[in-house]
Structure 1
Amino acid sequence: MASMQETAKKYFRGMQHRKFHESKACGCKMSLGVYLPDAYYNDDAPVPVIYYLSGLTCTDENASQKSGIQRYADEQGVAVVFPDTSPRGHNVEGEADSWDFGVGAGFYLNATESKWKHWRMYDYITKELPVYLAQTFPNLDTTNASLMGHSMGGHGALVIFLKNYNKYKSVSAFSPICNPINCPWGKKAFGGYLGTNFDAWRDYDATELARKYPGPKTEIFVDQGTADSFLKEQLLPENLKNAVHGKDNIDLKLEYRDGYDHSYFYIASFVEEHILFHAKHLKPS
């Protein structure tokens, strides 16, 4: 981590914060970005929250600096929270040996293998972070929250939503890992963090969770570039589509974007649509 200095910078009409706090879930100091729109400072009503979960190798800074999301969040009067993607600083043997496992690759689950006991990003996102945000930014309404993410973070957003459908208002994902139990990234991560407990694997798989989703009718927005080099082997959106086919309580909007890849150029091209999608659920007229 290059710098541990907290910052607050004017961005559009709001402020982009970078914060650090001690995490019991992850056993270390965690970094995060928080964009507060103009509405946070000038409106009386509490401001809703979108959690943006980033992908493999990312920190809390990638999306906040590259996605362009803040312009549209400010226009809609919603805050955006950018958590980190894993614990850092534990110096676990092998934690930095590969880019798709360990540091920067927390997969938004609670590891059960003792070596990776601090990799508890699921608890961090769902339990610890909302408490910290409410204490630190009192005009945020963390009970009025939505989820979005990219790649590994898209997987995290879908899984967290499907497991906590009464806690979040909406979910969207760019290029998510839709069926990790059937792709190389997922098999590597789940095998390392969860061992051979395949029931636990299925409990962190969006396709498996969607197939048996028992909650109220909901709309899921998945965005996918057709020129994404990871599409066929790693992301598997058609598996998710097939899992929800015929279900009357999930309306899956799977939007293919012709010629777009896996990069932030793609995300920045369509992030406004995602903010408008979430604003519809967070701030219904």
Structure 2
Amino acid sequence: MSFTTDATLFTFEGKLIKLTHDSTETKTKMNVNVYLPKQYETSSEKTIPVLLYLSGLTCTPNNASEKAFWQPFADQYGFAVVFPDTSPRGAAIEGEDESWDFGSGAGFYVDATVEKWAKNYRMYSYVHGELQEKLQIEFPKLDFSTISITGHSMGGYGALSGFFKNPNKYKSVSAFAPICNPIECQWGQKNFGGYLGEDKSAWAAYDPTELISKYEGSEIPEILIHTGTADPFYHRDAQLLPENLVAASKGTKFEGKVSSNLVEGYDHSYYFISSFVGQHAAYHAKYLGLSK
């Protein structure tokens, strides 16, 4: 079997399955959580659409599973939710556990090219390729050809980047407090420089603000973003830069389609995320063909 089931938890009206598997991309064991909505067991429908949720710096698959509250909305509309890990774990690379915002828990959803990291830190190929292919075999009722993507912070960046780099693969994309222009912020510069080296063209190949004008897909959904005005990474540290993505959308296929919402008083935490999950679930359900 590709996966080992570590736990099966009944929650709301479905089941959260905690899994471990050996990854060919990262050359490590990887953890992933999958929420199967009530329709997985009860619906006469042959397939269940999927929402891929990418978490932020330091997170494991458990954070969003426990604190975002996707489950009741997944049950309401009938989609599964996949929660990957944010990096390889235990790759035995010198220095991988020295910093909270680089290395373990901070894979930044790229395929590293710097030699030290290139063998294991292949989160882009893992998330958008290997993991989905293996889960399709493990859960044949899930429909990975009808999939949308979302995420928070580093995961919001990963969702936007993955959407733009895979035209027509994802039906829709949304993000909570995403890092929209990593080339221009400290987190992005640290991770891109560490994993990809000094060639800025390699950085641009993952930066949503750089990628939006290069998107060649025929399907142009609205992009839904929420960011809190009390988020210190927005108002103090300038890590998120959603305005840069909106500005870059002008003159592109996405002009007028980036719905970037600044919400008064909210911070960067899961209190913020869980407050707007319902809006994001309704948005994705529409593009997944589950509502009008």
| TM norm structure 2 | 0.94
Map 1:202-281 → 2, pairs under 5 A: 202-216=204-218, 217-232=220-235, 233-250=238-255, 251-281=257-287
Q: Identify the residue that residue 51 of structure 1 maps to in structure 2.
A: 52
* Letter of the 1:231 counterpart: Y
Match of 2:171, SS? coil
Secondary structure of residue in 2 paired with 1:222: strand
1:65-118 per-position Cα deviation (integer Å, ceiling 9, x unaligned): 011111111111000000000001112100011100000000001000110021
The residue number in structure 1 matching 2:161 is 159
Shift of 1:212: 2.6
CA RMSD for the aligned pairs? Answer: 1.2
Give the aligned partner of residue 41 of structure 1: 41
SS in 1 for 2:232: coil
1:124-163 alignment runs, 5 A limit:
124-163=126-165
Moved over 3 A (4+): none
Cα pair 1:215 1:249 within 8 Å, conserved: no
2:29 equivalent in structure 1: 29
Report the Cα distance in structure 2 between the residues aligned to 1:137 and 1:213, rounded to whole angstroms: 31
CA distance in 1, matches of 2:254, 2:247: 14
Report if the CA contact (8 A) 1:146-1:171 is conserved: yes
- For 1:52-131, list aligned pairs within 5 A: 52-117=53-118, 118-131=120-133
Quote the offset at 1:44 in angstroms.
2.6
Distance in 1 (CA, whole Å) between partners of 2:197 and 2:216 is 27
Report the more deviating stretch, 274-283 or 215-224.
Answer: 215-224
Match of 1:191 in 2: 193
* Matched residue type, 1:20: T
Q: Which runs of 5+ in 1 are unaligned?
A: none
The CA distance in 2 between the partners of 1:151 and 1:138, in whole Å, is 31
CA contact (8 A) 1:47 1:79 kept: yes
Tell me the distance in 2 between the aligned counterparts of 1:282 and 1:218.
11
Letter in 2 for 1:14: G
Provide the residue aligned with 1:175 in structure 2: 177
**Which whole-Å CA distance do the structure 2 matches of 1:192 and 1:200 have between them?**
12
Post-superposition shift, 1:5? 6.5
Structure 2 counterpart SS, 1:81 = strand
> How many aligned residue pairs are there?
282
Check conservation: 2:31, 2:84, Cα contact below 8 A: yes
Three-state SS of the structure 2 residue aligned to 1:82 is strand
Match of 1:25, as an amino acid?
A: E
